[in-house]
Structure 1
């Protein structure tokens, strides 16, 4: 919290160093040093917590029942050994699929597995088992009849037994391997071994059963799908046959088998193909017959006639007869009878040749007409079949749709049937991907309690609790413990710290120039010398938050130190409500500050000398009805001015700030204020409030003095201890 805002900071005199009266806060303490400071301050709290936790941990460890842990090791493979080439319905796990192993670890901790182990080991109705694990017998499930549990609560007891086993079992996978340790802990070594081994065996059994169940489920599902596919196939076949009967579509069965199998062919298509082939052959025959016919039109030159054997024989006989006739004509006349006979024979042969040639020509013509007629008949039949085939094609569109549906249903049915057979074979093999590597042995020594580990945990817990308590106490503690907190918490420049002295009066301690009290105030005087350009402020007031914080001792000590520095000093008792300076001088307070403030001008009658300390003092004077009214006027300012004409320094022992208006009034009339703060005596929040009042009065706070400081109670030591003390300060 920033104690002073820039608008409230009192202005320093001209020519003085820029040393703020109140700073916003000291330099930030490193976190490690701050924690170390807290630990050192509350070391006894931390040590007490550690010791208490250590004792508690030791007692608990000694009272704990020894427990034994048995471990069985199993191996979980990603893929089971493939006995057949058939695959089950479960998805194969990839190498990088870590979900597989996490699933297996979860199955090892499943409730069903625990209840199965409990049932196998007959723990459900075992009274000793429940007693060993401290199960509450008030549950209705544990009601007994004739010394035995009632059957009605068996399901509840089995659930409770499974929960007990799950709480005491541990599944510990071995890193970067497929090995898993199943550990069970109980008060009985043999019992732990039985449970660990039973757990591993039942996990393997459940794994196998799960695979069989998955395969059985797949088989049942495929069986239902097969039934539905069979119904769809039969229905589609009935639709196909019915439509074929209605449309008079007759197809021949498929030819060939396997990859060479062809689709069904209709009779019309086959007949059209056959007639079309016959038409092509008839056309070729007709063209050939036509060529022979046209060639036969040229008489004597027909190829058929040339190939005819009878015509060739007749022509040969005619040629012989003609040769004989020509021989006779050499000697005889045409009228020669043998010559006429030969001529008659030749004529007869010519007529026979002509008749044979005519017969051959008629045969070629008849063959041509027959070929042409056959071609025309086949062509008419083919044209008719073409019309029938086109009509069949139109009527076969829906038929083909039905046929495709039949083929699809048949393919689906065949695939499901094949898959059904494969699953049946794969499900009957019973492969497993879990194997027991090391069965559990009977543990030879307890696994818990472990004395050293428990003590270490207790020490750590005590350290944590102690640290938490120390931190909480530090947050709640607002006391100013050591000099560094004056600047850190209050925002005041530290002028010095004053040790707490006991067994000696402050005045006597000041008379001993070798005392630690004198050394401390000499250091404070030195610090004050740097607050202004002219050294120690000529007029200053010493105040505190509340009474008995050491402000009067500080005022007396500062006046004494200045006097020993060969300065003329006057100590003014400004606390007119509870005066104390007159006690130090051994005089009464019949005359003093209140007299001057009331109007008396003779200052010499109001002062007295303190020869042993070398200074002059002014008591508070008679206690007025209202001291604040006297301080409100300008008389105090005149007094300070007159005293500075005679003395080098004026030190005023001011009243406390809280609850009174006197201190702000006095602080506004002097050059600077020294603020006394009691170590471990007041909360910092109250001091901040008091400082804020002084700042509102435009007071120039030179710095703070930590009084009654004990190094042994501080957050950290300062290298020495103060050994003196002083009595109760009234001021």
Structure 2
């Protein structure tokens, strides 16, 4: 079926199309006039989106705003908010409502759930396209009731957002409180281990003790170097004193030995002089010889004493060097022990610092979360509360008439096509050709006053052919 055939069918069945159209329009008009009037009240709320995570305190990116708006719309239309509205307005306590509930459900379920479903079916939540404003609309037959319900939805939605924000904060606060107790115990244990370690090792300040002991070790090292140098010098002098008195500077530098050598030289010179003048048995010669022998004995004795004193000095220096060496080794062991103690104590101090840092961060975050959990501030503000509507919102007669005209035309077209299919008639040349399956040679136009032959079989065709 082409467009021409369709137009011919509609023109032939125009009475049916017009009849169906008039019937639909008439029924729609009557129904629209008989329907009870409905009123709609709108309350607008403003969403002040901050996007702060209640547990971590991090600011969420702004590209999550569309999802946030969709979430808030779902919250407004949730059963939780509807139940809050019912409790706020005490609708479940009305005897009339309870009677309607029993008639509708036969007593199955609860009145609150049944009322929540009714309210949500009449609720209309419309977000703004370019702003954070959301419109909450409610429809009903009572203008004062719809305004009250719209405002109640706005108020309870605001309270619900506060609760949804505060509840995670409170749970997070409880979590932080538990963690704070655990971290406080860990800090106390770490401090106790550090104090016990200091008491066991008698440590007041590791750094000061280490500086003192290190300085003492350096002093002993310097003293050992000086003592070794003195011991080497004393040992060298001892060997020289023992090897030969004339080569020893200590022996030569002794003033008593020098005086004795001078006296011995004078005595020997006197003995030589006396020996030239007198004989060996002369008393003067013997006296001079005895004086020379005495001075020689005194000189040898002083040389021996000086050599022994040089050896004793070397022995003392050797003992002093050994003592300094032992003290240096002991001091080195003490410094190494202090280094080990400092390392162990440093580990304990790091444990204390880590525990203190974790405790401070957790306590600070817990305090902030606790304060935020106690805040009853909402991110939602009522921009325009709903007012009692003065004019009904429905039924919309004009809109219904326009829809009925469109629907009537479509139904009329459909009825015409159905009737045409049930009673198919020839409306054009193509219908005849398609029905008989033979080519058409000509047509006769009965509307002209003078007949005009259009083909060989044109005059033999009936005026109104009909297929049976």
User: Could you give the per-residue CA deviations for residues 59-85 of structure 1, whole angstroms, max 9, x where no partner exists?
Assistant: 1221122222111111123316x8xxx
User: Could you give the per-residue CA deviations for residues 592-645 of structure 1, whole angstroms, max 9, x where no partner exists?
Assistant: xxxxxxxxxxxxxxxxxxxxxxxxxxxxxxxxxxxxxxxxxxxxxxxxxxxxxx
Q: Which residue is 1:191 aligned to?
A: 145
CA contact (8 A) 2:83 2:116 kept: yes
Matched residue SS, 1:171: strand
- Pairing 1:59–2:13 present: no
Question: 1:422 Cα deviation (Å)?
Answer: 3.3
Q: Which residue is 1:440 aligned to?
A: 386
- Pairing 1:125–2:93 present: yes
Question: Which residues of 2 match residues 102-251 of structure 1 at below 5 A?
Answer: 102-127=70-95, 137=103, 139-141=105-107, 156-224=110-178, 233=186
* Alpha-carbon distance in structure 1 between the residues aligned to 2:5 and 2:306: 149
Q: Which residue is 1:454 aligned to?
A: 400
User: Could you give the per-residue CA deviations for residues 651-673 of structure 1, whole angstroms, max 9, x where no partner exists?
Assistant: xxxxxxxxxxxxxxxxxxxxxxx
CA contact (8 A) 2:235 2:314 kept: no
Q: Which residue is 1:369 aligned to?
A: 319
* Alpha-carbon distance in structure 2 between the residues aligned to 1:291 and 1:217: 81
Question: 1:220 Cα deviation (Å)?
Answer: 3.1
Q: Which structure is larger by alpha-carbon Rg, 1 or 2?
A: 1
Q: Which residue is 2:234 aligned to?
A: 293
User: Could you give the per-residue CA deviations for residues 198-236 of structure 1, whole angstroms, max 9, x where no partner exists?
Assistant: 1111111111111111112223344455667778x5999
Larger fraction in strand:
1
Would the alpha carbon gap of residues 305 and 467 (structure 1) be closer, same or farther in structure 2, given more than 3 Å must change?
A: farther
Q: Which residue is 1:73 aligned to?
A: 44
* Alpha-carbon distance in structure 2 between the residues aligned to 1:194 and 1:384: 87
Would the alpha carbon gap of residues 523 and 377 (structure 1) be closer, same or farther in structure 2, given more than 3 Å must change?
A: same
Question: 1:352 Cα deviation (Å)?
Answer: 6.9
User: Could you give the per-residue CA deviations for residues 406-458 of structure 1, whole angstroms, max 9, x where no partner exists?
Assistant: 99888766655554333213322344321111112222221112221121122
* Alpha-carbon distance in structure 2 between the residues aligned to 1:461 and 1:401: 87
- State the aligned residue count: 436
Would the alpha carbon gap of residues 515 and 140 (structure 1) be closer, same or farther in structure 2, given more than 3 Å must change?
A: closer
* Alpha-carbon distance in structure 1 between the residues aligned to 2:135 and 2:8: 47
CA contact (8 A) 2:137 2:150 kept: yes
Would the alpha carbon gap of residues 193 and 209 (structure 1) be closer, same or farther in structure 2, given more than 3 Å must change?
A: same
Would the alpha carbon gap of residues 293 and 136 (structure 1) be closer, same or farther in structure 2, given more than 3 Å must change?
A: same
Matched residue SS, 1:181: strand
* Alpha-carbon distance in structure 2 between the residues aligned to 1:438 and 1:78: 18
**TM-score normalized by the length of structure 2:** 0.70
Question: Which residues of 2 match residues 321-332 of structure 1 at below 5 A?
Answer: none
* Alpha-carbon distance in structure 1 between the residues aligned to 2:248 and 2:127: 106
Matched residue SS, 1:494: coil
**TM-score normalized by the length of structure 1:** 0.47
Question: 1:42 Cα deviation (Å)?
Answer: 3.5
User: Could you give the per-residue CA deviations for residues 3-25 of structure 1, whole angstroms, max 9, x where no partner exists?
Assistant: xxxxxxxxxxxxxxxxxxxxxxx
CA contact (8 A) 1:49 1:466 kept: yes
* Alpha-carbon distance in structure 2 between the residues aligned to 1:493 and 1:254: 125
Would the alpha carbon gap of residues 303 and 433 (structure 1) be closer, same or farther in structure 2, given more than 3 Å must change?
A: farther
CA contact (8 A) 1:295 1:302 kept: no
Question: 1:109 Cα deviation (Å)?
Answer: 0.2
Question: 1:490 Cα deviation (Å)?
Answer: 5.0
- Pairing 1:50–2:21 present: yes
Matched residue SS, 2:91: coil
Matched residue SS, 1:124: helix
User: Could you give the per-residue CA deviations for residues 287-346 of structure 1, whole angstroms, max 9, x where no partner exists?
Assistant: 33433334544569999979xxxx98x749979x979x99xx9xxx999xxxxx9xx999
Question: 1:120 Cα deviation (Å)?
Answer: 0.5
Question: 1:54 Cα deviation (Å)?
Answer: 1.5
User: Could you give the per-residue CA deviations for residues 91-138 of structure 1, whole angstroms, max 9, x where no partner exists?
Assistant: 75422222221111111100110111111012112356689xx76735
* Alpha-carbon distance in structure 2 between the residues aligned to 1:468 and 1:100: 47
Q: Which residue is 1:94 aligned to?
A: 61
* Alpha-carbon distance in structure 1 between the residues aligned to 2:180 and 2:386: 48
Matched residue SS, 2:72: helix
* Alpha-carbon distance in structure 2 between the residues aligned to 1:676 and 1:378: 145
* Alpha-carbon distance in structure 2 between the residues aligned to 1:523 and 1:60: 56
* Alpha-carbon distance in structure 2 between the residues aligned to 1:46 and 1:255: 108
Q: Which has the higher contact order (CA 8 A, sep 6+)?
A: 2
CA contact (8 A) 1:279 1:379 kept: no
Matched residue SS, 1:137: helix
CA contact (8 A) 1:66 1:187 kept: yes
Would the alpha carbon gap of residues 186 and 254 (structure 1) be closer, same or farther in structure 2, given more than 3 Å must change?
A: farther
User: Could you give the per-residue CA deviations for residues 564-586 of structure 1, whole angstroms, max 9, x where no partner exists?
Assistant: xxxxxxxxxxxxxxxxxxxxxxx
- Structure 1, unmatched stretches of 5+, are 1-27, 142-152, 257-261, 336-340, 502-513, 529-553, 559-674, 683-731
* Alpha-carbon distance in structure 1 between the residues aligned to 2:70 and 2:248: 100
Partner residue of 1:523 out of 454, 457, 460: 454
Q: Which residue is 2:429 aligned to?
A: 483
Question: 1:515 Cα deviation (Å)?
Answer: 5.5
Question: 1:496 Cα deviation (Å)?
Answer: 3.3
* Alpha-carbon distance in structure 2 between the residues aligned to 1:254 and 1:679: 128
Would the alpha carbon gap of residues 275 and 37 (structure 1) be closer, same or farther in structure 2, given more than 3 Å must change?
A: farther
Would the alpha carbon gap of residues 491 and 102 (structure 1) be closer, same or farther in structure 2, given more than 3 Å must change?
A: farther
CA contact (8 A) 1:70 1:193 kept: yes
Would the alpha carbon gap of residues 304 and 430 (structure 1) be closer, same or farther in structure 2, given more than 3 Å must change?
A: farther
Would the alpha carbon gap of residues 159 and 380 (structure 1) be closer, same or farther in structure 2, given more than 3 Å must change?
A: closer
- Structure 2, unmatched stretches of 5+, are 275-283, 285-290
User: Could you give the per-residue CA deviations for residues 8-56 of structure 1, whole angstroms, max 9, x where no partner exists?
Assistant: xxxxxxxxxxxxxxxxxxxx84x5x565455434333332222222112
Question: Which residues of 2 match residues 522-671 of structure 1 at below 5 A?
Answer: 522-525=453-456, 557-558=459-460
* Cα root mean square deviation, aligned: 5.7
Matched residue SS, 1:69: strand
Partner residue of 1:496 out of 442, 448, 454: 442
CA contact (8 A) 1:89 1:218 kept: no
